[in-house]
Copies of this chain bind each other. A is one copy, B any other.
Amino acid sequence: VVKVAAHPLVTLTTDFGDASPYVAAVKGVLLSVNPAARLIDLSHQIPPQDVRHAAFFLAAALPYFPPDALHVIVVDPGVGSERAILYVETAGVRLLAPDNGCWTLLPQSDQPRVRRLTESRYWRPTVSATFHGRDVFAPVAGHLSLGLDPAKLGPPVADWVRLTLPSPQMGMNSISGEITFVDHFGNLITNIPAAKLQPPTILIVGRHVFTCRFRWVRTYADAAPGTLVALTSSTGHLEVAVAQGNAARKLKAAVGTPVVVGWSR
């Protein structure tokens, strides 16, 4: 038995850009299948074909939604190829996504329920080679939001693409990692778990080495505007920021830039 909400939530995350008729076409097809679906835009500004960025985005966003929301993710450099399209249930999150690893940074159930979409009766009658968002994802999302049993979409699969990401390295009195996300404010979020940190005395971002010239703070407002600060991000990682400024621009840092924190003895 599938319980159907009166106005079921369907979220959309794509790399189509906000200027695109592609987003609009996806919405149109989905609402044509289920006019009562309640569409929530998460973002259409995932950098084009950047699966890794999508993975971080989704991990920072999807776990906050109610478990009956359906998340549609179309960041799909392999569109039209043999890559699968998956329906996934894992740790209270339900989603449709290309099998490219974009969902593997989410909290995971011991046994995620994963199916490969094969039943074309739930797709548009004609499927283009370049726009599965409109022709496959949207109508399937519409049907799921109407209460379709996911088992009807296609067979279960036991293997899928996993994103492998660099792990931070523990040293004697330092941790080395890298920047994994740069937000709209230019704040630099790293892959170094903040829970493990004593306030460090040395901070290295790319070629920039800081000893006295940064502060460990609880929040941006704890330092004067323009100060370089390190803090615990809202995702629980080491974050490097400039109070009321843009750390990415100031330090010329980007995703992948190495970051080291150290403790002098």
Contacts and interface: CB of A to CB of B under 8 A. Distances in A.
Contact of A222 (B36, B41, B56, B81): B81
A198 interface: no
Given A21-B57, A35-B66, A48-B185, A27 B42 contact: yes
A7 B7 contact: yes
Interface in A218-253: 218-222, 231-234, 239, 244, 246
Contacts of A130: 219-220, 231-234, 239
A64 B221 contact: no
Contact of A20 (B16, B32, B81, B183): B183
Nearest to A79: B219
Interface residues of A, number: 73
A218 B129 contact: yes
A231 B184 CA distance: 35
Nearest to A21: B60
Interface in A34-70: 35-36, 38-46, 48-49, 56-58, 60-66, 68-69
Contacts of A222: 80-81
A40 B24 CA distance: 9
Contacts of A244: 49, 77
A128 B232 CA distance: 9
B18 A57 contact: no
A43 B23 contact: yes
A256 interface: no
A167 to B, nearest CB: 21
Contact of A128 (B22, B46, B49, B234): B234
Contacts of A79: 219-221
A84 interface: no
Interface string A69-107: 100000001111101000000000000000000000000
A19 interface: yes
Given A19-B45, A131-B234, 5 more contacts: A9-B35, A20-B184, A21-B42, A21-B43, A81-B222
Interface of A: 5, 7, 9, 11, 13, 15-25, 27-29, 31-32, 35-36, 38-46, 48-49, 56-58, 60-66, 68-69, 77-81, 83, 128-131, 134-135, 183-185, 218-222, 231-234, 239, 244, 246
9 contacts: A5-B35, A11-B24, A20-B184, A24-B62, A78-B221, A80-B222, A83-B221, A129-B218, A130-B233
